[in-house]
Amino acid sequence: MSRKVFRTVFLLICAVHLSCMAGEQALRDIPSDRIHEVRIIRILDPRLPRLSDSEFNDMLRHLQAYIKEYLGYDARFTRVPDIDLLRFRQDMAFIENLDDMKVLKQGLLDITTDTDRRRLRDYIRTLVHRTDKKILASYVPDYAAHKDPRRLAEHLYTRYVAKLQAIQGIRTADGTALHSSAYKDTLTYPFWEMALRHLQKADFVFTNTIMADAETDIPIYVVLRYGITTGMVTGNNHTSYKGAGIMFTFPFLSQDKFFVKERKEQIPGAEKARVIALYSTHEFGHLLNHFKDYYDHRNCIMVPANDLNYYRWYRERRECRCTLTHEKLQSF
């Protein structure tokens, strides 16, 4: 996912000011006639399920093939040593005091408070009203039952709050909640946005945690997934790609009853690595090709999943390929 969503005027002004200070530059096309080395790091939460080392290496092999097949690039992966999630958070402690972080946190909501629940409801109403009805009709699974924009927004808001609370309360292997205090920040967009901007040892992250939060700056597909972001790419002036990306594998791997139900279809064990690899290819479409997200391209690698049925998303993209033109981002 590339987080290019309209902010309020205040946040937009702040973001422009900060990006100029950081020296943000327009993206240049990456040539496809050579091999590109991509540094890969795993950031691991020991409480959560993960791919085994052999499964992870298998996933990378599939990803390399999919990047060539769908995106036209030859990628060569270099592994950076794994790191514990809390150690990574400690190493990134400096981002908490950056002005950019203060701006991002203005849009982060605490759904346990009445004030922030109202902000979320108002944002979803605005998002539904400004989203083209054709996109809503083709992308929102239960649109036909809630065609009135206000009813649809209320339906999405109510479901969002209830299911995000369920996600945050999932019990992990050590008995603590997924959303426990030590890990709370690592489930949020501001943390990962800032961590990726300042990542220096790698170009792309795989982590077995999840990004699941409430914000006032999210696209429609994150609303449909109750605040879950499966992956993202953002700007990073430290890498040769001028960007860095991440994939969150917990939604694919969790056997908690919530995810078993929400995925609708079980991901066969033999295809687990392929499913994660193909969804990662979506993120590499941002990183390498600078493609935008789409909502109305049939079976397109650049259309994010509109729910948690990742196996259906995978099957559809393996069965048929999108032949439409893809516009490019000017910046991450």
Tokens (6 digits) for 278: 């193909």
Asked if residue 330 belongs to a domain, the reply is no
Asked if residue 331 belongs to a domain, the reply is no
Check residue 4 and give its pLDDT.
Answer: 47
Give the pLDDT band (50/70/90) at residue 295.
Answer: confident
Asked if residue 269 belongs to a domain, the reply is yes
Output the average pLDDT for the chain: 92
Asked if residue 59 belongs to a domain, the reply is yes
Give the pLDDT band (50/70/90) at residue 321.
Answer: confident
* pLDDT tens, residue by residue, 208-229: 999 999 999 899 989 999 999 9
Average pLDDT over residues 170-174: 98
Check residue 37 and give its pLDDT.
Answer: 98
Asked if residue 127 belongs to a domain, the reply is yes
Asked if residue 2 belongs to a domain, the reply is no
Q: First-to-last CA distance in the chain?
A: 10
Q: Which residue range forms the structural domain that includes residue 106?
A: 9-25+32-319
Asked if residue 326 belongs to a domain, the reply is no
> Following DSSP, what letter does each residue of 284-309 receive, concatenated?
HHHHTT-BPP-SSSTT-TTS--SSS-
Asked if residue 137 belongs to a domain, the reply is yes
Check residue 231 and give its pLDDT.
Answer: 97
Check residue 22 and give its pLDDT.
Answer: 44
Nearest of 5, 320, 324 to residue 193 by alpha carbon: 5
Give the pLDDT band (50/70/90) at residue 93.
Answer: very high
* pLDDT tens, residue by residue, 1-36: 655 444 443 344 344 444 444 445 689 999 999 999
Check residue 135 and give its pLDDT.
Answer: 85
- Considering its fold, how many domains does the chain have in total? 1
Q: Residue 152 to residues 48, 130, 146, 158, 309: CA-CA distances in angstroms?
A: 34, 13, 5, 10, 21
Check residue 18 and give its pLDDT.
Answer: 44
CA 281/CA 71 separation, integer angstroms = 8
30, 284 in Cβ contact below 8 A? Answer: no
Give the pLDDT band (50/70/90) at residue 142.
Answer: confident
Average pLDDT over residues 104-110: 97
Among 5-14, 185-194, 310-319, which is the least confidently predicted range?
Answer: 5-14
Nearest of 108, 18, 7, 71 to residue 280 by alpha carbon: 71
* Residues above pLDDT 70, as percent of the chain: 92
